[in-house]
Each structure stands twice: as structure tokens, then as C-alpha cells.
Amino acid sequence: MASSDLLRPDPAPGPWQRCSPKQTKVSIQEKNTWLNFRKRMHRILCYCTVIHTEFCIFAAT
């Protein structure tokens, strides 16, 4: 798997989930390693509401 594949989220399931910025920030803090952050949070960050676009960009950089 190329490293770029790790940055690409799965196809968006529908309907999209809503989650609060506060929940997202707490969840990021709870993930102590980048790998766990990737595996557990990347999809949620990218497929919540548009409020999380900045988090999605952060996760993909």
C-alpha cells in the first residue's frame, strides 16, 4: 500500500453522521499515537458535517 493510500478516506457511507467539535477534540486528545488516530478517527473526522472540514484537512496532512 502506498503511503498516499493512508491519507485517502473510505467512500462516504450515507447518511453522514453529525458530531460536535467538542467530541472531536476530546477524541483526538484520547488518541496517543498517530496510527491510532488514523485508524479510529480519520473516517469520522472526514464524514461528519462540514464543520469538521478543517479537522479532515489536518488529518490528511
Query: Would you place residue 16 in the very low, low, confident or very high pLDDT band (cuts 50, 70, 90)?
Result: very low
What is the 3-class SS of the chain, one letter each residue? CCHHHHHCCCCCCCCCCCCCHHHHHHHHHHCCCHHHHHHHHHHHHHHCCHHHHHHHHHHHC
Q: How many angstroms separate the Cα of 52 from the Cα of each of 43, 44, 49?
A: 11, 9, 6
Q: How many CB atoms lie within 10 A of CB 31?
A: 14
Question: Can you tell me the mean pLDDT for 16-32?
Answer: 49
Q: Predicted confidence band at 38 (pLDDT cuts at 50, 70, 90)?
A: low
Q: Please state, for a pLDDT cut of 70, what percent of the chain lies above it.
A: 0
pLDDT band at 26 (very low <50, low <70, confident <90, very high): very low
| Per-domain boundaries in the chain | 19-60
Within 8 A by CB and 6+ apart from 2, the residues are: none
